[in-house]
Amino acid sequence: AASFGHIFKGLMEDRLAICVLGHGLGRRLLKEHAASLRPVSIEIGSLVPNGFMRQMDGECHRQYRRALVQGINAIDFPALVPNIDSIVLEGLAAYAADGPRQSERGAWNDMLSSISIDLLIHTVFGLQPGSSAFMELKTGYFRLGPHGVAWTISDRQVEAFGDLSCQVRKHLSGHETVDPACLLAGLGNSALIDETLLGNLIYMVELGRYDLRGLLRWVSKYAAEHPSWLARIANEPLSHLQSHTSAAAAFVLETLRMDQSERLMRHVLDDFVFEGYLIPKGALLRVCMWEAHKDSDTFPRPFDFDPARHLGAGAAGERFSPFGLDHHLCPFAGLTVQLAAAFLRVLAMNYKIAARDGDPAVRGPYHWQPAPGFTVELMRRGGHLQ
């Protein structure tokens, strides 16, 4: 961008890629040429009628998104907090109690992977942590993607997805006790609780467990590097956790500004001209988010980690959009911040944290992430979770 301006072309995975830098420019492009663009995402049309919601358009997209948002808005997060805290505390305690494990490469990542899927299963599907139904669903997800999201749907995914669908249908029909505070209960009797909506919900959890795990890795790295913020979060009243202006939420938002909020990708379906440039059919469009979040005109000292940026009025909308810029904005944005903030609060109240070998960052399957050798040591604070 410094050499060629805010719109330039390059090669990405052997395809022409048009890169656009800047929130305002990216938002305007996505709005003016929405009909010529399609989100890049996993193709699940062979499993789910109408495919993935983020690739839907028009009235179909509006109807299913409306039903999903209804369920998300109905989540009673404060009612879920005791179980959320228990999930996190149990995972951290088991990790902390196993001294040799803390020096093992990948051990922290494995623990975060387990915590992430547990948090999502409880919050989305409302199953009691540790119950047979909960463990059955968790096992099903590890069958669906044992080594990460499977972007090519094979017989393994077809079978595992079919089993997960049957389990979720069973929960909906009342065969299992579902926490009334969860998303699934919040869907109520919506007429759109069909194979498309449920299939999307299952796959959003599938994608979300890797994104949440990655976010928690970055959160823990910054927590180790900024102990004063960890102490501040440890002393924050629980009531503040429900606010996006809490210290814990601000810490998560600054983590997203620094890392993991990287780009929006679109397939170009038709030729169009934007700002005098031809954007050709068949190209990839990359709206560069990581770079926009390092704009010194918007964020002074952009490479300094400073959660205080997000306290009070914070940085929002036109200047900061870690979960998207257009009508495909991630509907789980608020819930993701709440879950990560809850994890951080439990970590801060119970442990001091030391980390090593997290630099330099590497490109992972889905996002940039701390180096593969990243390890974490937990030291008990002596207090107990209230």
> What single letter denotes the amino acid at residue 252?
V
> What single letter denotes the amino acid at residue 332?
F
Q: Does the pLDDT value for residue 245 go beyond 80?
A: no
The pLDDT of residue 385 is 43
In tens, the pLDDT along 325-362 reads 877 788 999 999 999 999 999 999 999 999 999 999 99
Confidence of residue 386 (pLDDT cuts 50, 70, 90): very low
The pLDDT of residue 366 is 82
Higher pLDDT, 99 or 44: 44
Burial annotation 153-169 (CB, 10 A radius, 16+ → b, else e): eeeebeebbebbbebbe
CA–CA separation, 302 and 286 (whole Å): 21
- Specify whether the CB–CB gap between 280 and 51 falls below 8 A: no
Prediction pTM value: 0.94
Percent helix, strand and coil across the chain, each to the nearest 5 = 50, 15, 35
- Specify whether the CB–CB gap between 249 and 336 falls below 8 A: no
In angstroms, how far is CA 20 from the centroid of its own chain?
A: 23
- Specify whether the CB–CB gap between 264 and 286 falls below 8 A: yes
Question: Between the CA of residue 154 and those of 47, 55, 140, 160, 203, what are the distances in Å?
Answer: 11, 21, 15, 10, 15
The pLDDT of residue 190 is 57
